[in-house]
Amino acid sequence: MDTVTKLEQFLSNLESSKTPNDIQTLVESLRDTYGVSNAVYHAVNLDGAPYAALTYTPEWMDHYQEQKYVEVDPVVRGALQHFHPMDWKRLDWSGRGSRAFLGEATDAGIGNQGLSIPIRGPNGQFALFTINDNCTDKHWETFYKEFLKDMLLISHFIHNKVVKIMLPEGNRAQQPLSPREADTLKYLAHGMSRSRISEKLEISEHTLRVYIDSARHKLGALNTVHAVSLAYTKGLILL
Rounded to whole angstroms, the Cα distance separating 155 from 170 reads 23
CB atoms within 10 A of CB 133: 20
Q: Which residues contact 78 (CB under 8 A, 6 or more apart)?
A: 86, 91, 116
Q: If you average pLDDT over each of 21-35, 156-170, 173-187, which comes out highest?
A: 21-35
Per-residue pLDDT band at 40 (split at 50, 70, 90): very high
Instruction: Note whether 175 and 218 are within 8 A (CB).
Output: yes
Per-residue pLDDT band at 44 (split at 50, 70, 90): confident
Domains of the chain: 3-171 (3.30.450.80), 179-233 (1.10.10.10)
Going through 74-193 in order, the beta strands assigned E by DSSP cover 86-87, 113-120, 126-133
Residue 224: is its pLDDT beyond 90? no
Rounded to whole angstroms, the Cα distance separating 149 from 156 reads 11
Rounded to whole angstroms, the Cα distance separating 55 from 130 reads 11
Percentage with pLDDT > 70 across the chain: 92
Q: If you average pLDDT over each of 4-18, 22-36, 70-84, which comes out highest?
A: 22-36
Rounded to whole angstroms, the Cα distance separating 178 from 213 reads 12
Average pLDDT, the chain: 87
User: What pLDDT was estimated at residue 4?
Assistant: 56
Classify 137 as helix, strand or coil.
Answer: helix
- pTM higher than the cut 0.75: no
Terminal Cα-to-Cα distance of the chain (whole angstroms): 43
Percentage with pLDDT > 90 across the chain: 49
Phi, psi of 52 (to 5 degrees): -145, 145
Largest distance between two CA atoms of the chain:
55
